[in-house]
Amino acid sequence: MTAQPLDVQPTPLALLLLGRESDTSSERGVDCPGDLPAPSDPDLVERARAAKAKLGERVFVLGHHYQRDEVIEFADVTGDSFKLARDAAARPEAEYIVFCGVHFMAESADILTSAGQQVVLPDLAAGCSMADMATAEQVAECWDVLTEAGVADVTVPVSYMNSSADIKAFTGRHGGTICTSSNARRALEWAFGQKTAGAGGGKVLFLPDQHLGRNTAVRDMGMSLEDCVVYNPHKPNGGLTAQQLRDAKMILWRGHCSVHGRFSLDSVREVRDRVPGVNVLVHPECKHEVVAAADYVGSTEYIIRTLEEAPAGSKWAVGTELNLVRRLANRHADEGKEVVFLDRTVCFCSTMNRIDLPHLVWALESLADGRLVNRIQVDDETEKFAKLALERMLALP
Ligand code: SF4
C-alpha cells in the first residue's frame, strides 16, 4: 500500500471577513443585538474595564493563547483550550464565562462547567476551519464505511480537542477518547490497547487533524507512513478501498489547521539560511515534512515552556499562530533571546482574530446590563457523550 499524499485540501467554508461593516448575511451565526462599538472608539479600554468591574466575580474571562493582545489584556486567565475549560470549571462562582477563543472551545467549556454557568462567545462567527472539516453527518457516514469494510469493531475513535461537540459525542458513543496536542501519544497508546484482535489488528480513526494524527503515530510511536491512510469525506467511501482500511493502523480524517498547515519545508530551509544557528520549534499540527525537519516539536504549552527555559543568546523560529509568536518574541527580547516567526508571510488565525475589543466590550456591557448574549449551549444528549469522551481523556494513564 502506498502512503497518502500530504497535500492540503481547500477549506470547505470561505474564510470569514473581518470588520463591523462586513456583510452579516454571509457570516454564520453573527448576531450582535444592540450597539457594537466602533473599533476606532478611543474609550474601548475604559469601557471594558468599567463593564468588567461592574460584573465583578460574576464574570470570568478566558483568553486563548492565539488571541490579540488587546483582548488578552482583559483575560483573567490564559491558556490552551483544555486548560481554559478546566479553569472555568474551577470557578463555579462565576455565573458568566466569556470565552475569548473559538466556537469549539466555548462548547467544551459549556460541557465541563456546571449548569448554573453560562458560556458566552463574544463573536459567534469565531469558528475553527479545522473543526468545521468534520461534520456529524460525514463522520456517521465514515463509520458506515468502516462497518461495511468489517473494521468498525476493531476501530477506536480518537478526536482532537479541536472538534465540535457533535464529534466529541460521536467519539464518546463509540468507546473513544479526546486528546490534546500534549497527550496525543498517550491517547493513541490507550486506544490501540482497547482493540487488539480482528481484521488487521486494532485501528484508530483519528479526527479531525490528519497532521497531528500522523505526526504522533509516525514521529512519536514509530509507525510508518504506510500504516496511515487518509479518509476524504468528499469522496465515495472516503476514497479508500476496503482492503486499504483493513491494512491501515491509523485512519486519518482529511482535516487540517489553516494556520499550521501553511508552514512548509521551504519555510524551514529559508529561516535556517536567514538566521544562522536558529532552532526550529513547531506545533504538531504542522505537516509531517515540516515536523520532520524541525528541531523541536510540541504543543502550545510546550512551545511557551521551551522558550522560557532557552538560554540567553539562543535563536528560535517558531511555527505556530502569529499573535502568540509576537507576544513570545516581545517577552523574551529583553532576555537576549531572538524569536522569529517561521514563515515570511503574516499568518494570524482569522477566526481567532474575530474576537476583538469591540466584541469583547459589547459582550461585557450586555452582561453588565442584564442581557445574556451569544450563549453557547450544548444539548443534554450531546453533552452526555462528549463528556464521556473527555472523561476518558482525563483518566488516561
Ligand atoms: S489556529 Fe487552526 S486549529 Fe486553532 S482555531 Fe485557528 S484554524 Fe482552528
Reading the block at residue 102, the C-alpha cell is: 473559538
Which tens digits make up the pLDDT trace of 291-324?
A: 999 999 999 999 999 999 999 999 999 999 999 9
**pLDDT score at 199:** 41
Q: What is the pLDDT of residue 35?
A: 73
- Does residue 180's CB lie within 6 angstroms of at least one atom of ligand 1? no
Q: Looking up cell 442584564, which residue turns up? A: 370
Task: State the DSSP string of 61-84.
Answer: EEEETTS-HHHHTT-SEEE-HHHH
Most ligand 1 atoms within 8 A of CB, residue of 9, 100, 179, 257 to mutate: 257
Q: Which three cell numbers stand for residue 317?
A: 523560529
Yes or no: say if 208 and 131 are a contact pair by the CB < 8 Å rule.
yes
Q: What is the per-residue pLDDT across 108-129, written as a single tens digit (0 to 9) for each?
A: 999 999 999 999 999 998 999 9
> With contact defined as beta carbons under 8 Å apart, do 169 and 389 qualify?
yes
- pLDDT (0 to 100) of residue 119: 96
Nearest-CA neighbor of 355 among 72, 129, 84? 72
Which of 14-18, 146-150, 166-170, 240-244 is predicted least confidently?
Answer: 14-18
Do residues 65 and 321 lie in contact, with contact meaning Cβ atoms separated by under 8 Å?
A: yes
Ligand 1 contacts CB of residue 351 (under 6 A) = yes
- Whether 395 shows a pLDDT value over 70: the answer reads yes
Q: Which CATH class is domain 131-258?
A: alpha beta
pLDDT of residue 8: 38
Residue with C-alpha cell 504549552?
Answer: 301
Mean pLDDT of all residues in 167-179? 97
Within 8 A by CB and 6+ apart from 206, the residues are 157, 158, 159, 160, 188, 212, 213, 217, 250, 251, 252, 253
CATH number of 260-341: 3.40.50.10800
Residue 315 φ then ψ, to 5°: -120, 140
Give the global pTM. Answer: 0.88
CATH 3.40.50.10800 maps onto the chain at 31-127+351-379, 131-258, 260-341
Residue nearest to atom 3 of ligand 1 (CA): 257
Matching CATH number, 31-127+351-379, of 3.40.50.10800, 3.40.50.300, 1.20.1260.10, 3.20.20.140:
3.40.50.10800
Residues 13-44 pLDDT 10s: 333 433 333 444 444 445 556 678 887 788 99
Q: Average the pLDDT over 233-259 and give the result.
A: 97
Across the range 213-230, mean pLDDT stands at 97
211 appears as a binding residue in the annotation: no
Q: In what order do the strands lie in the sheet with 228-231?
A: 177-179, 155-160, 203-207, 250-253, 228-231
Give the closest residue (by CA) to ligand 1 atom 5.
128
For the segment 179-199, the average pLDDT, to the nearest whole number, is 84
Give residue 13's pLDDT. 38
